[in-house]
Amino acid sequence: MVVHDLTERRRLEEARRTFMADAGHELQTPLTSIRAAAELLLEDRGTDPEKTRDLAEKIIMQQERMTALVDDLLLLSRLESDIAPEPGTPSSTPGNVSKDPREG
């Protein structure tokens, strides 16, 4: 059972590393889009109201995308901390195992 627990823990750690690398990439994409749109706004200096509105909408859309990604990361973190306690912590030990068998 201990070997299975260690194998599962390693698998989860690898999945976490992969997820974090993917999440970093997913966050970088909207940041790059926001930066590009902001630079175009600076270059245009508001001379074309339609272009300004379009770029502002793109910035808002990418910000919303980033917010959703961050919300997902925070939810995953909360779920992971509730579901996968460290081995040997009281929350990972069934109640009847931690009791003294003589106490009945």
Q: Residue 51's CB: how many other CB atoms inside 10 A?
A: 13
* Prediction pTM value: 0.56
Domain total in the chain: 1
Residue 103 belongs to some domain of the structure:
no
| Closest of 37, 1, 3, 23 to residue 74, by C-alpha | 23
Question: Residue 99: what pLDDT?
Answer: 43
pLDDT at 57: 92
CATH (domain of 68): 1.10.287.130
Q: What is the pLDDT of residues 59-74, one digit of tens each?
A: 899 999 889 988 888 8
Domain that holds residue 67: 2-80
Tell whether 102 is covered by a domain: no
- Torsion of Cα atoms, 56 then 62 then 68 then 70, to 10°: -110
